[in-house]
């Protein structure tokens, strides 16, 4: 029976987070503990890529980290982002997050419905004249680049942030007694093995968000029990709730 779940993300700032509903409704304990933290590049580091933010008419956001670091870099470099800049986000939650920095206008904010870049491509193709900038992590694959090339879109990828280890303490390793682990990046999966080299999965369930994370789970010789996003469950919270309800019903 799953009672204690480690979610490898920072604790939600809002009390209305779906995670808290899951904990209350299904009687599970959720512990939020990222295995790594995200650091934004400094303006000096970013300039080495010779990318001018104002050369682009649209930005593609695949995560909140991308949103934060795009606007933080613009502020640090004293660049005013034009009012008519368009934003293309892989999912609605990221689109709504943009409101933290700019006024939300439907005519300039677009989003997909599955959490995967594929669902955003048809919308981007409708705006074929745009020059797309794609902020990325220092750890990424070239799959997105290939996809944009295939659809003949004008684009430029750039690194705006990186992940660094946020190691477990000796006490945390000693008391590592979770029934389920939820990962959101390949870096988080690798960090598990770095922190606990002799980790044995046993009956522990593992969930992964995104194909790259799922691939890394299997590459580390671990069994994947739950993967999101999917057509049915675009969010990890939705997939996790369904998984736990099914487990509870089968017990």
pLDDT by residue (tens digit) across 105-151?
777 999 988 878 888 999 999 999 999 999 999 877 788 999 999 99
Is the pLDDT confidence value at 5 over 80?
Answer: yes
Is the pLDDT confidence value at 169 over 80?
Answer: yes
- pLDDT category at 52 given cuts 50, 70, 90 is very high
Report whether 146 contacts 72 (CB < 8 A).
no
Determine the pLDDT at residue 143: 87
Start-to-end Cα distance in the chain: 8
Topology of domain 39-164 in CATH is Rossmann fold (3.40.50)
Q: pTM above 0.85?
A: no
Nearest to 56 by CA among 130, 108, 127, 123: 130
Is the pLDDT confidence value at 156 over 90?
Answer: yes
As a whole number, the mean pLDDT across the chain is: 92
Alpha-carbon Rg for the chain, nearest whole angstrom, is 19
Determine the pLDDT at residue 22: 96
- pLDDT category at 51 given cuts 50, 70, 90 is very high
Domain definitions of the chain by residue range:
1-35+236-250, 39-164
99-112 confidence digits (pLDDT tens):
999 887 777 999 98
Report whether 164 contacts 190 (CB < 8 A).
no
Across 193-203, average pLDDT:
92
DSSP the chain: ---EEEE-SPPPSSTT-HHHHHHHHHT-EEEE--SEEEEEPPHHHHHTT---GGG-SEEEESSHHHHHHHHHHHHHTTPPPPTT-EEEESSHHHHHHGGGTS---TTTEEE-SSSSGGGTHHHHHHTTT-EEEEEEESS--SHHHHHHHHTT-EEEEEEEEEEEE-PPPHHHHHT---SEEEE-SHHHHHHHHHH-TT---TT-EEEEESHHHHHHHHHTT----EEE--SS--SHHHHHHHHHHHHHHH-
Determine the pLDDT at residue 103: 83
Q: Does the bond joining 229 to the residue before it have cis omega, within 30 degrees of 0?
A: yes
Exposed / middle / buried, residue 83 (Cβ in 10 Å: 0-12, 13-18, 19+): exposed
pLDDT higher for 225 or 103? 225
């Amino acid at each position: 029976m799953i009672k204690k779940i480690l979610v490898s993300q920072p604790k939600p700032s809002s009390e209305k987070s779906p995670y808290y509903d899951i904990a209350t409704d299904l009687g599970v304990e959720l512990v939020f503990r990222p295995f790594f933290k995200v650091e934004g590049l400094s303006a000096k580091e970013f300039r080495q890529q010779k990318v001018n933010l104002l050369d682009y008419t649209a930005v593609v956001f695949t995560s909140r980290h991308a949103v934060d670091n795009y606007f933080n870099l613009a502020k640090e470099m004293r660049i005013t982002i034009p009012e008519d800049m368009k934003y293309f986000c892989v999912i609605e939650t990221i689109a709504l997050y943009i409101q933290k920095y700019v006024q939300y206008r439907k005519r300039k904010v677009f989003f997909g419905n599955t959490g995967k870049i594929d669902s955003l491509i048809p919308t981007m193709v409708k705006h074929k004249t745009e020059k797309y900038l794609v902020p990325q992590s220092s750890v990424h694959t070239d799959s997105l680049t290939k996809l944009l090339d295939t659809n003949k879109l004008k684009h430029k990828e750039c690194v705006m942030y990186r992940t660094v280890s946020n190691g477990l303490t000796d006490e945390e390793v000693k008391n590592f007694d979770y029934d389920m682990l939820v990962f959101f990046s390949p870096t988080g999966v690798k960090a598990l093995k770095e922190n606990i080299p002799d980790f044995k999965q046993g009956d522990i369930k593992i969930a992964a968000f995104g194909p790259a994370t799922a691939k890394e789970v299997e590459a580390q010789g671990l069994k994947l029990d739950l993967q999101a996003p999917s057509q049915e469950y675009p969010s990890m919270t939705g997939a996790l709730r369904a998984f736990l309800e099914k487990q509870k019903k089968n017990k």
